[in-house]
Structures are given as C-alpha cells and as structure tokens.
A and B are shown apart, each in its own frame.
Chain A
Amino acid sequence: DAGVTQSPTHLIKTRGQHVTLRCSPISGHKSVSWYQQVLGQGPQFIFQYYEKEERGRGNFPDRFSARQFPNYSSELNVNALLLGDSALYLCASSLALQTYNEQFFGPGTRLTVL
C-alpha cells in the first residue's frame, strides 16, 4: 500500500506570493494533519482535518488555510508568503480523529521563499 504522498517535492517562491501544497493520505485514513518544520527544529502543528472539517488549529496566522476533500486528500494554502515561511511542510494521516491512532507522515514539501 502507498504511504502518505505529498506534492510538489520542492517549491521556490518569492515574498508576497501564494502557494498550494497537496497531500494524499494512506488509503482508509480519514484524518489529515499539517505540520511546519523549520530547519533544526521539531514539527509544529498547523491544522487537523477530519471528515472534511477543521478539528484543530495551531498558532499560525490567518494567511495559512487548508481544506479536505471528499476523497480525504487535503490542500494547505499560504498567502502573502514571508521569508520565515521557508520550511519543510509535512502532512500526516491517521485512521481516526484522535491520536490514539498513530499519525504517519509523508516525505514533505520543501518550500523556499526568496
């Protein structure tokens, strides 16, 4: 079975631009979470979606938004990019909502903002 997939793998943008990152969860998993990992640090929680509804949000500005589709795939959108948004963006999927079901991570999208 395929694991969590993310696209694109790498992305270079300039300040002020908008970016859309995509994630497909493991087959059968209904929950998708997004994390931001700045170089040298652990991942930071951005959003969790379950059954197409936002179920959790981390301490990120409104420039960050996400949605989940009927097939449980998800998009993360970031508007008005800042240099500090440069990071590895990770998507994780789990069977159900709570973390009693383990979260499995994709390879990430490396975003560079110039």
Chain B
Amino acid sequence: GQQLNQSPQSMFIQEGEDVSMNCTSSSIFNTWLWYKQDPGEGPVLLIALYKAGELTSNGRLTAQFGITRKDSFLNISASIPSDVGIYFCAGSLIGSGNTGKLIFGQGTTLQVKP
C-alpha cells in the first residue's frame, strides 16, 4: 500500500540548534501537510503545501513541497524546549479521487535539551 517514509525516526538536539526532517514516497502527492503531536493530544496542523516547489514558512518553521511531488521537508530554526513532540508528514495522493484521505508518515520524535 501507499507509504510515506519519514526520517529521522528521532532526534535529540541542543536548544538553539536547527532541525531538519523529511518525507519521501514512491508515489506522487498533490498535497503535503506537516503536523505536530504532543502526548495525549491530537495532531496540530503546522504547514500546508499545495504546489510542487512551494516553500512556505510559519514562524521558525519552513517546509517545502518537492519538485518531483514525491517528497517534502520541514526545517525548524533555533529550536526551543516547547518544540519537543512528534512531527508527522501527511499527504494526499494524486488519483485519490474525491476523498480527504491523508496518508501519514511514521513520525519524527524531537527532544530538545535546554
């Protein structure tokens, strides 16, 4: 079935460092979304991308929709302790029809040391 390969699986960084994570697939996506999930909570939408090559920022977060439509990355600059959590990429496949089905990656667990 369709899969999103998200890496790295986990990161342990020092406060102030920049972070980069990415998602890849063998299939083509027409939408890429990045979510953050805290323990016991639902995912919170961070950034949405709709066009190949699109680069979008939200504060210290920057995400890009890959040119091939098969990948996306998320960067976090100058990390702070509240950035701790699990980050998920999610996408909507080309040809998924008139549905809102999102396919999620396995998540990247981020820990920040003060």
Q: Do A and B come from one complex?
A: yes
Instruction: Give residues in A with beta carbon < 8 Å to B.
Output: 4, 31, 33, 35, 41-45, 48, 50, 55-56, 58-59, 90, 92, 94, 97-100, 102-108, 110
Closest to A9 in B: B40
Is the C-beta of B73 less than 8 angstroms from some C-beta in chain A? no
| List of A residues within 8 angstroms of B105 by Cβ | 42
Q: Chain A residues near B40 (CB, 8 Å)?
A: 107, 110
Are A90 and B42 touching (Cβ within 8 A)? yes
Contacts of A99 in B (CB 8 A): 31, 33, 92, 100-102
A-side contacts of B88, CB under 8 Å: 42-43
Of B6, B41, B45, B99, which contacts A56 at CB under 8 A? B99
Distance (Å) between the CB of A88 and the closest chain B CB? 8
A-B contact pairs, 5 of them (CB 8 A): A33-B100, A43-B104, A50-B100, A55-B100, A104-B45
Is A108 a contact of B41 with CB atoms below 8 Å?
Answer: yes
The complex places the Cα of A44 from the Cα of B4 at a distance, in Å, of 12
Q: Which residue of B lies closest to A46 (CB)?
A: B101
The answer to whether the Cβ of B48 comes within 8 Å of any Cβ in the partner chain is yes
B102 touches A103 (CB 8 A): yes
Q: Within 8 Å of chain A (Cβ to Cβ): is B106?
A: yes
CA distance A49 to B99 in the complex (A): 9
- When C-beta atoms are compared, the residue in chain B nearest to A101 turns out to be B100
Q: Mark interface residues in B81-112 (1 if CB within 8 Å of A CB, else 0).
A: 00000001010100011111111111100000
**Which one of B4, B33, B100, B105 has the greatest number of beta carbons of chain A within 10 Å?**
B100
Cβ-defined partner of A105 (8 Å) among B1, B4, B42, B100: B42
Q: Please name all residues of chain A whose beta carbon is closer than 8 Å to the beta carbon of B104 when the two chains form the complex.
A: 42-44
A58 near B41 with CB under 8 A, answer no
CA distance A50 to B105 in the complex (A): 25
Determine how close the nearest CB of chain B comes to the CB of A105; give it in whole angstroms.
Answer: 4
Q: A42, A59, A107 — which one has the most chain B CB atoms within 10 A of its CB?
A: A42
Instruction: Report the bound CA distance from A41 to B43 in whole Å.
Output: 12
Asked if A43 contacts B99 (CB within 8 A), the reply is no
Q: Which residues of B contact A90 (CB under 8 A)?
A: 42-43
